[in-house]
Amino acid sequence: MKTYTVIDSPLGPLTAVATAAVLSGLYMQRAAHLPASFGEPVAGTLSDAAFDQLREELAEYFARARTEFTVATAASGTPFQTRVWRALAEIPYGQTRTYGQLAVELGDPRVVRAVGAANGRNPISIVVPCHRVIGADGALTGYAGGLERKELLLALEDPARARATPLF
């Protein structure tokens, strides 16, 4: 059974989707690559029941009191995408990797573009930290939630990255 809820966040409303009570999607409004079933309402039943832990962990994360998520996840994707998403989950809080570094970690430096494509299709944003992947030159490139949100998430995790303006 698929359920969903909407969680308020400093980035705007986040739509959380659970399949069999396990987090399978976390989407920002107006993000690129939303699933075909995404809309009003999201395929499934509106329910807060499966989302208490996620709601709590996101609140702690945005308060800078949590550096990793423990909520169970089950993203649906190709075998390559799931390998990339597992690699994303290994990037420590406050650190970044380049697409090239991830390709090397996955065993083939030639798959940089495929890593980027899989990164962009990550269905569980924030929890699976695709925002921690940057361009080879350190530039903030590509983020389905928008580069402004990527910049805010990176600055949240590493305040030295923050601009002179407040984050939230």
What is the maximal distance between C-alpha atoms in the chain?
45
Q: How far apart are CA 48 and CA 52, in angstroms?
A: 7
Q: Return the number of other C-beta atoms located less than 10 Å from residue 98's C-beta.
A: 18
**Of 14, 16, 118, 130, which residue is the catalytic one?**
130
CB-based contacts of 25: which residues, under 8 Å, 6+ apart? 4, 15, 16, 17, 35, 75, 123, 124
Three-state secondary-structure class, residue 157: helix
Per the annotation, the verdict on 130 as an active-site residue is yes
Tell me which residues are annotated as active site: 130
